[in-house]
């Protein structure tokens, strides 16, 4: 046991050292990140002197600052019948008597302030002085304004209740005083977007974001119960996600639709979640509106055309060479990892010199760099996206001695105007994807990308996909150009690391089964098989180490574009009796087996763009094979997954030909975990369309 403890300590120390080496030092000069300057502020000398001279009184003051909120009248309902006799506030505990002058009015009236222990002493003192000074006075003019706001709110609610008595509505009854808070906040605000509101003779732009909920502020049950709130708080001060501060307002009606408050959380307050990031909390009695007073860009874009169009997304090869070389360049005094210098830098330079065998990561770098040179910013977000889940990307280099970060693509040319922001996120899908949706919404001229570590992981953000990404444009007529990169492929990595649930995205598109599609679909879904295709996809939106998944640099040149369908240049049209349609990396396994077995009566067509359905391109390819009698859809996913259920009705209705299925049978999980079963399945799905289905 003793030796185990020593070994554990050594292991923990080793892990600490390894983790320390992963502390990316995002200092000045890293695009998209503004380091927070730490101000070492100490308590003023006069406060220190007063504390020392009045130690007993100071202990009482500290007690009220800590426990005073427990005595404040902030809960008019008081379902729990709690006594407000807080023993920690008994003056006798601190050597004082009832005759000593103690002004309690500011400490527990109709407000309760929770100061957070994790704040520095100076921060707590500043907060306490701000709320305890008692100098805020509401003049009669403002009192009249507050009264008018409340009367208008109540009149509106009563009007709706009278005119539409049977229609469900969500009103502000019981929480009208929140209007006082918002009107006070707007008077203190000087910037924003959307609707102009006259305040003191000036216009303040106020934005109410599209939201499918009838609640525009936090409810007590939702704030405590929904995990995305904790994810969001943890993300709020992380590099590349810090927005400079935000204010959260919670209306506590002590009921979550039908959920009683006692069943809605384990903590005393709904706001206790905020303690995790050391922020102060102010509780306000909603029956006292005067207390609330104290707290206070897509123009020029057009709708998608009613047709499937092709855009030239190629780039001059000279510029591509410059971008490619710059993507692996670093300062002379930068200490790059020796393994990266050999496998990443030298290999890329060699392939660029030859102009062939351009791999996936290089194609991505060329797409990013060419957009940057055109003045477009690119934001790449997700877990460890700088390195890449599969150690393939390395757009962010780390000095092995100083831990300093260097992003080569931000140093292509001294006059470049576009920059790459590498936002390595917290370990969250739902909150981060929601954040990136907002970033893309706010930055339509830039390329915003969210990448899941594995495609399967996006399911933690299914709510964001369903509520915003798939349906947002239809519900609110607001476009969004977010790109979701979802690694997808069956490599024997079991059910949680194989499938991005392609079928779900295809099911959510508004692609038609019986009429030709246009560009105006809610989602564009693609499963690219070559680096050049991936390059053109990224460029059009403003398989990794597989040896066959490479492209020539000419495939990126001007005049090239993304191909929704890639034909079969090897097949003899006169000999072809069967046509296999496939999407994704499964093509390479079928192609390899076809060459090995010398099968010459089969053509393999790659469907790269799935939605909108590529009717025209398929018609052109299928017309080449006059003698074909069987058309087979081959996929590596299970029959009840993948693209089969999406492709079959469209193929048969629009092309008038029967489509057969080849692939895994129905399954409850995306993939098996046992290697022996995986190998058996792979053998079956490769041989069936080539040898069995004749």
Q: Work out the burial of residue 317: count CB atoms within 10 Å of its CB; fewer than 13 is exposed, 13-18 middle, 19 or more buried.
A: middle
Residue 192 and residue 466: Cα distance in Å, rounded? 28
| Most confident by average pLDDT, 20-29, 63-72, 368-377, 501-510 | 368-377
| Most confident by average pLDDT, 15-29, 57-71, 83-97, 334-348 | 334-348
Q: What is the pTM of this model?
A: 0.75
Predicted confidence (pLDDT) at residue 191 exceeds the cutoff of 50? no
Q: Which residue has better confidence, 470 or 183?
A: 470
Residue pLDDT, tens place only, 325-367:
999 999 999 999 999 999 999 999 999 999 999 999 999 999 9
| Tokens matching residue 348 | 């890329």
Contact call for residues 561 and 536 (beta carbons, < 8 A)? yes
Mean pLDDT to the nearest integer, 131-139:
68
The pLDDT of residue 138: 75
For residue 450, give the DSSP letter.
E
The DSSP-derived string for 374-403 is: TT--EEEEETTTTT-TTS----SEE-TTT-
The pLDDT of residue 315: 92
The DSSP-derived string for 519-536 is: S--S--EE---SHHHHHH
Which residue is it, tokens 């403890």?
Answer: 5
| DSSP three-state, residue 627 | coil
Mean pLDDT to the nearest integer, 7-22:
43
The pLDDT of residue 134: 59
Phi, then psi, of 376 in degrees rounded to 5: -95, 135
Residue pLDDT, tens place only, 443-477:
888 999 999 988 788 888 999 998 899 888 888 87
Predicted confidence (pLDDT) at residue 255 exceeds the cutoff of 80? no
To the nearest 10 degrees (0 to 180), the angle between helices 675-687 and 586-597 is 60
Nearest to 328 by CA among 280, 374, 361, 297: 361
| Tokens matching residue 532 | 């050049």
317-488 to CATH, choices 3.20.20.80, 3.40.640.10, 3.40.50.12470, 3.30.499.10: 3.40.50.12470
CATH fold group of domain 565-692:
Rossmann fold (3.40.50)
| Most confident by average pLDDT, 266-270, 301-305, 505-509 | 505-509
The pLDDT of residue 57: 80
CATH fold group of domain 45-83+110-296:
Rossmann fold (3.40.50)
| Tokens matching residue 291 | 């207390």
For residue 595, the Cα-to-chain-centroid distance in whole angstroms is 42
Residue 233 and residue 212: Cα distance in Å, rounded? 22
The average confidence (pLDDT) of the chain is: 82
| Banded pLDDT at 41 (limits 50, 70, 90) | low
For residue 651, give the DSSP letter.
H
Predicted confidence (pLDDT) at residue 299 exceeds the cutoff of 60? no
Mean pLDDT to the nearest integer, 162-184:
81
| Banded pLDDT at 4 (limits 50, 70, 90) | very low
Domain layout of the chain by residue ranges:
45-83+110-296, 317-488, 565-692
| Banded pLDDT at 21 (limits 50, 70, 90) | very low
Contact call for residues 648 and 663 (beta carbons, < 8 A)? no
How many Å from the N-terminal Cα to the C-terminal Cα in the chain?
Answer: 65
| DSSP three-state, residue 291 | helix
Residue 224 and residue 221: Cα distance in Å, rounded? 5
Residue 375 and residue 667: Cα distance in Å, rounded? 47
Residue pLDDT, tens place only, 605-619:
999 999 999 999 999
Q: Are strands 195-199 and 378-382 parallel, antiparallel or unpaired?
A: unpaired
Low-confidence winner among 208-217, 311-320, 391-400 (lowest mean pLDDT): 208-217
| Banded pLDDT at 624 (limits 50, 70, 90) | very high
* Total residues belonging to the chain: 694
The pLDDT of residue 62: 79
The pLDDT of residue 544: 46
For residue 436, the Cα-to-chain-centroid distance in whole angstroms is 4
- Asked if the domains at 45-83+110-296 and 317-488 fall in one CATH topology, the answer is yes
| Banded pLDDT at 295 (limits 50, 70, 90) | very low
The pLDDT of residue 515: 86
Please report, for residues 149, 205, 244, 248, 444, the alpha-carbon distance to residue 182 in angstroms, rounded to integers and kept in the order given. 11, 13, 20, 12, 29
Residue 181 and residue 146: Cα distance in Å, rounded? 10
Sign of the alpha-carbon torsion through 665, 671, 673, 674: positive
Sign of the alpha-carbon torsion through 348, 353, 354, 355: positive
The pLDDT of residue 378: 96
The pLDDT of residue 687: 94
Predicted confidence (pLDDT) at residue 105 exceeds the cutoff of 90? no
The pLDDT of residue 616: 94
Nearest to 640 by CA among 446, 503, 476, 441: 503
The pLDDT of residue 102: 56
Predicted confidence (pLDDT) at residue 235 exceeds the cutoff of 80? yes
Residue pLDDT, tens place only, 196-230:
556 566 676 677 777 776 667 887 878 887 888 88
Q: Work out the burial of residue 107: count CB atoms within 10 Å of its CB; fewer than 13 is exposed, 13-18 middle, 19 or more buried.
A: buried
Mean pLDDT to the nearest integer, 562-580:
95
């Amino acid at each position: 046991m003793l030796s185990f403890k020593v070994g554990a300590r050594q292991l923990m120390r080793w892990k600490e050292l390894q983790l320390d080496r992963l502390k990316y030092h995002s200092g000045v000069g890293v695009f998209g990140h503004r380091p927070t300057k730490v101000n070492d502020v100490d308590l003023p000398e006069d406060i220190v002197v007063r504390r020392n001279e009045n130690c007993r009184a100071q202990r009482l003051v500290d007690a009220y600052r800590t426990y005073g909120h427990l005595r404040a009248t902030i809960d008019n309902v008081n379902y729990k019948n709690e006594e407000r006799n807080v023993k920690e506030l008994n003056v006798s505990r601190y050597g004082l008597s009832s005759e000593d002058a103690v002004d309690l009015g500011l400490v527990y009236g109709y407000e309760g302030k929770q100061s957070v222990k994790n704040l520095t002493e100076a921060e707590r003192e500043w907060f306490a002085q701000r709320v305890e000074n008692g100098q805020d006075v509401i003049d009669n003019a403002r009192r009249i304004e507050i009264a008018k706001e409340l009367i208008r709110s109540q009149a509106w609610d009563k009007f709706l209740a009278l005119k539409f008595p049977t229609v469900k509505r969500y009103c502000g009854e019981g929480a009208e005083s929140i209007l006082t808070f918002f009107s006070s906040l707007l008077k203190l605000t000087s910037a924003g977007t959307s609707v102009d509101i006259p305040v003191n003779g000036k216009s303040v732009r106020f934005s109410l974001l599209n939201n499918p909920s009838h609640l525009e502020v936090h409810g007590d049950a939702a704030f405590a119960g929904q995990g995305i709130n904790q994810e969001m708080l943890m993300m709020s001060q992380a590099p590349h996600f810090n927005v400079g501060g935000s204010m959260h307002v919670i209306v506590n009606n002590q009921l979550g639709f039908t959920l009683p408050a006692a069943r809605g959380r384990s903590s005393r307050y709904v706001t206790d979640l905020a303690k995790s990031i050391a922020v102060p909390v102010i509780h306000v009695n909603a029956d006292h509106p005067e207390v609330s007073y104290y707290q206070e860009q897509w123009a020029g874009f057009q709708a998608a055309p009613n047709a499937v169009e092709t855009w030239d997304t190629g780039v001059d090869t000279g510029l591509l060479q410059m971008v490619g070389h710059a993507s692996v360049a670093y300062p002379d005094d930068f200490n790059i990892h020796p393994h990266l210098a050999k496998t990443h830098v030298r290999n890329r330079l060699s392939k660029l010199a030859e102009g062939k065998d351009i791999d996936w990561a290089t194609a991505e770098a060329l797409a990013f760099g060419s957009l940057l040179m055109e003045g477009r910013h690119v934001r790449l977000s997700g877990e460890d996206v700088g390195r890449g889940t599969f150690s393939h990307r390395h757009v962010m280099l780390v000095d092995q001695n100083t831990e300093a970060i260097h992003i080569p693509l931000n140093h292509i040319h001294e006059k470049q105007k576009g920059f790459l922001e590498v936002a390595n996120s917290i370990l969250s899908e739902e909150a981060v994807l929601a954040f990136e949706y907002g970033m893309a919404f706010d930055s339509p001229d830039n390329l915003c990308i969210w990448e899941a570590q594995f495609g399967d992981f996006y399911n933690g953000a299914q709510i964001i996909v369903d509520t915003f990404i798939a349906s947002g444009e239809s519900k609110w007529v607001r476009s969004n150009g977010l790109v979701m990169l979802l690694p997808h492929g069956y490599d024997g990595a079991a059910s949680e690391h194989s499938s991005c649930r392609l079928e779900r995205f295809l099911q959510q598109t508004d692609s038609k089964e019986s009429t030709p599609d246009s560009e105006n679909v809610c989602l564009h879904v693609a499963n690219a098989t070559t680096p050049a295709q991936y390059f053109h996809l990224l460029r059009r939106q403003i398989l990794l180490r597989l040896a066959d998944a490479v492209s020539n640099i000419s495939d990126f040149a001007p005049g090239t574009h993304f191909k929704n369908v890639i034909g079969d240049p090897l097949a003899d049209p006169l000999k072809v009796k069967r046509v296999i349609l496939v999407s994704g990396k499964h093509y390479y396994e079928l192609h390899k087996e076809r060459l090995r077995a010398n099968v010459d009566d089969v053509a393999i067509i790659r469907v790269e763009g799935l939605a909108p359905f590529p009717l025209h391109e398929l018609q052109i390819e299928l017309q080449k094979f006059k003698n074909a009698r069987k058309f087979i859809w081959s996929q590596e996913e299970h029959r009840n997954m993948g693209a089969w259920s999406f492709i079959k009705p469209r193929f048969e209705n629009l092309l008038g030909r029967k489509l057969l299925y080849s692939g895994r049978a129905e399954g409850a999980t995306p993939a098996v975990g046992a290697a022996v079963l995986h190998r058996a399945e792979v053998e079956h799905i490769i041989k069936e369309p080539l040898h069995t289905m004749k």
